[in-house]
Amino acid sequence: MIVILKPKSAAADVAELTETLENQGVKVDPVYGTELTILGLVGDTSRIDPSRVEANRIVERVMFVAEPFKMANKLFHPEPTVVEALGRSIGANKIAVIAGPCSVETEEQIQQIAVNVKAAGASFLRGGAFKPRTSPYAFQGLQYDGLRLLRLAREATGLPIVSEIMSPHDIDLFEQSVDIIQVGARNMQNFDLLKELGRVSKPVLLKRGLSATIEEWLMSAEYLLAGGNRQVALCERGIRTFETYTRNTLDLSAILAVKKMSHLPVIVDPSHAAGKWWMVSSLAKAAVAVGADGLMIEVHNDPAHALCDGQQSIKPDGFRTLMDELRPIALAVGREL
Ligand code: PEP
Ligand code: MN
């Protein structure tokens, strides 16, 4: 529920109304605009009688937010959110490109890829240290040593690092080590993890769950926002459909839907969506054309010998070509790269 106040309402009256509403079990989040003050009511609004709220002399109007997500809702927060890390942004006019290997494998590997993607114009380095693998016998990532190697790559290139967290036990380490904490598709509804991440001081990149609806995805973002972390970006990475040709089905319409309903930036990961390296470049271009705020691309210097996801990784040369081809597309939709 959103309460729009009359222009120039007195601070004392706003405080009194806030207290009355909070006594009914909701949290009141005010937004002070130049003309209007808006109170966002977060929590269970079912006990609040809107006609009684509207009876208050400072209230202009009460609006219902049909969607169950409130803080992620554009109605409540019309300004687009810009996620910031080490001076780079996701959600600003410049398309944010996060590139790097599926997994950190060796110091040489991550250093070389970091230098290559930076030279091609990437603004963030990705690399998995903790890998959510379907098989317990598959490579699980270098784990803590992987984070150390990522930090070294950041030192060498200045690129902010993005890496996936799997367990709430590692929150402190991730908060200290990485610049953007990634929540993978498989953990999108790990609510304990989301609650903990609501309290951290680092931005969170929330990937869409394998079979999650857009509303469920935004509700997961709501956990992070409600916990106090306002630095949240979303990542569409393909969803499970009846189609088996591709690893997942890239849902480009999700970008439009998220942009219509939410103020959160949304990027696209064509690598995990397609699962095939030769589709990545075309899907990346389509994503930018549709209005994505950024891309996450798996880049590997030797895909044939990659320990994870070589089949969907492009090489540094291909990445450089992609970046060159993306520039005019970004310009055509009023963005830069
Ligand atoms: C990844 O980005 O490394 C990853 C595992 O992706 P997803 O969670 O989208 O499957
Ligand atoms: Mn991968």
Last residue of a domain, one of 63, 94, 115: 63
Q: Which residues of 76-97 are buried (b: 16+ CB within 10 A; e: fewer)?
A: bbeeebbbbbeebbbbbebbbb
Mean pLDDT of 11-24: 95
* Phi, psi dihedrals of residue 19, rounded to the nearest 5°: -65, -45
Using a pLDDT cut of 70, give the percent of the chain over it. 99
- Whether the predicted pLDDT of 288 surpasses 90: yes
How confident is the model over 134-143, as a mean pLDDT?
96
User: Rounded mean pLDDT of 80-103?
Assistant: 98
**Is 272 part of a structural domain of the chain?**
yes
**Residue 209 above 70 pLDDT?**
yes
Same structural domain, 111 and 193: yes
* Distance from the alpha carbon of residue 283 to the mean position of ligand 1, in angstroms: 17
Residue 138, class by beta-carbon neighbours within 10 Å (0-12 exposed, 13-18 middle, 19+ buried)?
exposed
211 pLDDT more than 90: yes
In a domain, 68, yes or no: no
Query: Are 37 and 172 part of one and the same domain?
Result: no
Out of 36-45, 260-269, 323-332, pick the least confident. 36-45
* Ligand 1 atom 4, closest CA: 184
72 falls within a domain: no
The token pair at 23 is 């006594």
Q: What number is the average pLDDT over the span 23-32?
A: 93
Q: Whose CA is closest to 17, among 44, 38, 47?
A: 38
Calpha distance 46→25 (Å, rounded): 10
- Write out residues with Cβ below 6 Å of ligand 1: 102, 128, 132, 164, 184-186, 207, 237, 269, 272
Task: Please compute the mean of the pLDDT values over residues 275-288 and round it to a whole number.
Answer: 98
Are residues 127 and 244 part of one domain? yes
Going from the Cα of 89 to the center of ligand 1, the distance in angstroms, rounded, reads: 21
- Region 299-306 average pLDDT: 98
Query: What pLDDT was estimated at residue 65?
Result: 72
Q: What is the CATH number of the domain that holds 58?
A: 3.30.70.1140
In a domain? residue 71: no
Q: Are residues 208 and 266 in the same domain?
A: yes
Do 269 and 306 belong to one domain?
yes
Are 24 and 48 spatial neighbours (Cβ–Cβ below 8 Å)?
yes
Alpha helices by DSSP H, listed for the chain, are 11-22, 50-54, 107-120, 144-157, 171-177, 191-197, 214-226, 253-261, 270-274, 277-290, 316-332
Residues 120 and 186 grouped into a single domain? yes
Q: Which CATH number is 230's domain given?
A: 3.20.20.70
SS3 172: helix
Over residues 116-128, mean pLDDT: 98
> Residue 284's domain spans which residues?
83-332
Predicted local confidence at residue 78, as pLDDT: 93
Co-location of 206 and 326 in the same domain: yes
Q: Is residue 308 part of a domain?
A: yes
For the chain, what is the domain count?
2
CA distances from residue 169 to 103, 174, 193, 317 in whole angstroms, order as listed: 20, 10, 9, 38
pLDDT exceeds 70 at position 207: yes
pLDDT, the chain, mean: 96
Please indicate, yes or no, whether residues 165 and 314 belong to a single structural domain of this protein.
yes
Task: Say if CB 251 and CB 236 are below 8 A apart.
Answer: yes
Tell me what pLDDT residue 66 has.
66
Q: How far is the CA of 74 from the centre of ligand 1 (A)?
A: 27
pLDDT higher at 47 or 181: 181
The answer to the question of residue 296 being in a domain is yes
| 39 and 112, same domain (yes or no) | no
Residue 29 lies in a domain: yes
Residue 245 domain-assigned (yes or no): yes
What per-residue confidence (pLDDT) applies to 121?
98
Same domain, yes or no, for 281 and 164?
yes
What is the H or E stretch that residue 208 is in?
A: none
For residue 313, the ligand closest to its alpha carbon is 2
pLDDT band at residue 162 using 50, 70 and 90 as cut-offs: very high
**25 and 93 part of one domain:** no
What is the best residue among 142, 166, 180, 237 to mutate for testing ligand 1's pocket, by most ligand atoms within 8 Å of CB? Answer: 237
CB 132 within 8 A of CB 309: no
Mean pLDDT of 171-195: 98
Residues 52 and 169 reside in one and the same domain: no
